[in-house]
Each structure stands twice: as C-alpha cells, then as structure tokens.
Structure 1
Amino acid sequence: MIKEPPETVIYPRGEVIKGENNTLICFINHFFPPVINIKWTKNEKEVAVEDPFIRTISNPDGTFHVFSYLNFVPKEGDIYSCTVEHETLKEPKTRIWEVEKDEVTTNNGPAVFCGLGLTFGLLGVAAGTFFFVKGRLYAS
C-alpha cells in the first residue's frame, strides 16, 4: 500500500447552544499507515480527551479513518483545534474550530412553545366569548 496523508475535518456533534454540553468531532480519513497521533487544544492550550485511545478503522480502499472526540461547553470567543501527526506529513496538520457569535444560540424552545400555547389559548377564549355573546343575542 502506498503511504497516504490524512484528510481532516472538525465539526460539532449538535447545534451549538451557549452553556450546553456538546462534542467536537475531529474526523481523520484516508491515511496509511494506520499509526497516527491526535492532539486537541482550547485557546492554544493542550487539553486532554476523555478517551485518548485511538481506534483506527479500515476503509474499503485499504486506507484508514478515525474519529476523535472532545467534550466542551460553547463559550463565545473560544478557539479549539485538532492537530494530527502522521509520518506522511512534513509538519503536523491543524484544523481550527471557533465558537462564533452568530453560531452560538440560546435555547429558546421552551419559551417559544409556552408563548405559542398562551397565544392560542387566549385566541380560543376570545372566540368562545364572541360566539357565546352572539348566541345569546340571537336566542333572545
């Protein structure tokens, strides 16, 4: 097999919501041989991953891929990186992911649901009152 350098992508597992746990995923693909080293940083400081054991998985073409995970809580301005070292690379390959202002959302789901429920409830009471009064007028 010919030696192949890795392709790397970094992305969050779910929607980025400020203050809620999430996971960054570093997907490293199409590399050979299967020996690889992965490091994570937060704001340029190395951080340990919960499961540092790297399990490479073979691809049908004879190359390998691996997923590395970093649990985090999004905070505006934080910068995370996944750095890969492999014998085919002259220097380590780093991918950066930044918590951007427009990317961080607050979880407004319950408030929106409550607001819609209240609005429909009030509309129902208003419609019911209208028909009650109208019915009483025609009954007299």
Structure 2
Amino acid sequence: MVHSCFFSPDGHFITILDLCYSRGEDPHDVEDIWRAISDLVKVMEYNSSLNRFTGYTPIGIHTAEQLNADPVVLASAVVGKKRFNSVLLYYFPLSVEPSVHLSMTPHGDRHPSMLTCSAYKFYPKQIRVTWLRNGQEVPSNMTSSEELANGDWHYQIHSYLEYTPTPGEKISCMVEHTSFTEPKILHWDMSLPESERSKIAIGASGLVLGVVFAVAGLLYYNRRKTTGMELVPTSHPSQ
C-alpha cells in the first residue's frame, strides 16, 4: 500500500491510497485501487479492473464524471497499471526453476525405506513429479505426494516412493516444469546412507585390527623361532 498525505489550500487533509489486491496466483491478475480520502471521508476511487473512477461525495461524483469522460486520463491509468505490473513481475518472474533434491529415509529391517523427491521454490504451481524404475514410469498408486504453498507465490512439492534395494535396479525421479527446457531427472545413488557407512567403517576397523594383531603375533613367533627359542606347548599330565 502506497499513500500520500497533504493539506489542500482550503485546509482539508487529503490522503491518496494506492491499494493492490491479488485475485489469484497469477501476478498478472492484480487489481489496483486508487482511493482519495478527505478528512477521513472517502471521496473517489479508481478501479483498474473496471478502468473507471467512482465518486462517493458530490465533489467526488462530479470529478469522476469528468475523468471518465477523458480518454487520455483512462489510457494513462491503464499505462500506469502496466508499469506497476512490470515492476511486480520483476520480483515475481513468470516462471521460477525449482531446486530438486533426492533423499532416503531408512526404516527398520522389516519395512522398506522411503525415497523422497523434493522440489522447492518454483513458480507457477503446475508441476509433474514421477518416479522411474529402470526407465519405466512407476504407477501413481504406488507413490504419494504433498504440495505446499510457501506464501510468497512460490511452491514446494514432495513425492514419496517405498524402496527396497534390489541388485541391478535403477531408481530415478523425473521433474517436469515450465521453467525447464527439458525434464530434469535425478538418479538415486545406490551408495549406503551415512548410518550404514558408519556400521561398515566400524566393522572394517575391527577387521583391520584383528589382522594387525594376527600379523604381529606371527612375526613374533617367527622371530623367536629363528633365534632358537621354540615355543613349547603346555600339556597336562595324563591322569
């Protein structure tokens, strides 16, 4: 909302308001209201959707009739709205490319993991997210999605697919949006998540330590053997 305040020569306090209303998700679909208020009384306003002035007091009605009869004034008002919309579209472009991410949420041993394909901060709202298994589209009844509005004309969407690792299987997420010249495809990396890598690292460390101790013991045994000190096994006398 933009406003200007000033005093008229005859001492009246006048306020000019420029109000902007979004009537939908399209930045083009914006209604401008220019309102003149004198001493807290609405005198006249202009509606960009109607491209007409409307008076609410005797002087406002008279002034509105004069302005509506002047095609130059009405044309200037239309140009003013277009200029405003051009500024609006500078900050909210016709299309904003989504940022796409692919992740996995591991579940228990008895339940499959969940793959999530997320697209963030895109515009317009229309978007298509599909899953591919070995290049073939996964039926929609095997997936689920949720779409959210960010509240700033941007959107986000999350698509889910239950996933059980299968050798040789290739899982991909394909995102289609008007901001893309071609669909964006993300392939799921079959490498294990951090928790699983940690388990393997710990197991590998234990294995390495076991090998180190075995080698050290063997070297010690061979060294004593070459120096003439043989290890004699301990035996218990027979009963």
Task: Give the aligned length.
Answer: 103
Q: Which amino acid aligns with 2:113?
A: N
Task: Flag the structure with higher helix content.
Answer: 2
Query: Percent sequence identity over matched residues?
Result: 25
Asked whether the equivalents of residues 75 and 99 of structure 1 are also in contact (C-alpha less than 8 Å), the reply is no
Larger RCO (CA under 8 A, 6+ residues apart): 1
Which residue is 1:35 aligned to? 126
Does structure 1 residue 12 correspond to structure 2 residue 104? yes
| Alpha-carbon distance, 1:51 to partner | 6.3
8 Å contact kept, 2:128–2:175: yes
What is the Cα-based RMSD across aligned positions, in Å?
Answer: 2.7
Q: Structure 1 residues 53, 78: closer, same or farther in 2, change over 3 A?
A: closer
| Displacement after TM superposition at 1:74 (Å) | 1.2
The residue correspondences of 1:3-82 to structure 2 (distance < 5 A) are 3-14=95-106, 20-50=111-141, 54-82=145-173
**Structure with bigger gyration radius:** 2
Shift of 1:28: 0.7
- Give the 4+ runs in structure 1 shifted more than 6 A: none
Cα distance in 1, alignment partners of residues 142 and 166 from structure 2: 23
> Please, what TM-score do these two structures have when normalized by structure 2?
0.38
1:138 corresponds to: none
| Structure-to-structure mapping, 1:118-137, within 5 angstroms | none
What TM-score do the two structures reach when normalised by structure 1?
0.62
Could you tell me how far 1:75 is from its partner in structure 2?
1.9
- Unaligned runs of 5+ residues in structure 1 are 109-140
Q: SS at the partner of 2:116? A: strand
Kept in 2, the 8 Å contact 1:16–1:74? The answer is: no
What aligned pairs does 1:107-126 form with structure 2 within 5 A after superposition?
none
